[in-house]
């Protein structure tokens, strides 16, 4: 059975990546992965968790509230996991551990100085994994 890892930051691009994975490979096993980077507090729910957020609280929040945004995942019984760490490292490791055949991930399509200063998780993953990566832009 084909296994697809779909990292999510709950952006439009991540939603589109999940949809595309389901459309192109409807029989594949899919795992949603959210990487919580405790050094970055940019996602809406992170501020409410506070500085001392622990993995269990993040996991509960992911499962009960944030994952509800992914109606497709609930209907299709898609596996999900939350890990802590640097996104590129965690995604590459999760793909290896899951035995992923493909990674479908969204991108914010940053350019210029934004890309230089912020980096690109998708670009980092593509450079560090032997697994084929399908990058889905958040904008059409």
Instruction: Kindly report, residue by residue over 63-81, the tens digit of the pLDDT.
Output: 665 566 666 666 666 888 8
Q: 118: pLDDT confidence band, cut at 50, 70 and 90?
A: very low
Q: How far is CA 73 from CA 21, 25, 32, 60, 129, in A?
A: 12, 14, 8, 16, 25
Helices (H), 25-135: 46-49, 55-64, 71-76, 87-98, 112-118, 121-128
Instruction: Give the mean pLDDT of the chain.
Output: 78
Q: In the predicted model, what is the mean pLDDT of residues 104-123?
A: 66
pLDDT confidence of residue 64: 63
Pick from 38-42, 62-66, 96-100 the range whose average pLDDT is largest: 96-100
Which pLDDT value is given to residue 9? 83
Apex 80 CA angle, 5 and 22, nearest 5: 50
Would you call 64 helix, strand, or coil by DSSP? helix
pLDDT band at 5 (very low <50, low <70, confident <90, very high): very high
- Rounded average pLDDT over 8-34: 89
Whether 37 shows a pLDDT value over 60: the answer reads yes
From the number of C-beta atoms within 10 Å of its C-beta (0-12, 13-18, 19+), residue 137 rates as: middle
Instruction: Please report how the helices 121-128 and 87-98 are oriented relative to each other, as an axis angle in degrees rounded to 10.
Output: 50
Query: pLDDT tens across 47-62, in order?
Result: 555 545 566 666 676 6
Domains of the chain by range and CATH? Answer: 3-137 (3.40.50.620)
Per-residue pLDDT band at 128 (split at 50, 70, 90): very high
């Amino acid at each position: 059975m084909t296994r697809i890892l779909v990292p999510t930051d709950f952006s439009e691009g991540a939603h589109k990546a999940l949809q595309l994975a389901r459309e192109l490979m409807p029989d594949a096993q899919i795992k949603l992965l959210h990487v919580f980077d405790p050094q970055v507090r940019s996602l809406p729910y992170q501020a409410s968790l506070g500085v001392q957020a622990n993995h269990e609280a993040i996991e509960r929040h992911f499962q009960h509230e944030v994952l509800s945004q992914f109606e497709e995942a609930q209907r299709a019984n898609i596996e999900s996991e939350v890990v802590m760490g640097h996104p590129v490292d965690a995604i590459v490791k999760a793909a290896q551990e899951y035995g992923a055949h493909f990674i479908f991930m969204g991108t914010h399509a940053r350019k210029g100085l934004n890309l230089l200063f912020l980096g690109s998780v998708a670009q980092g993953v593509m450079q560090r994994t032997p697994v084929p990566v399908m990058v889905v832009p958040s904008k059409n």
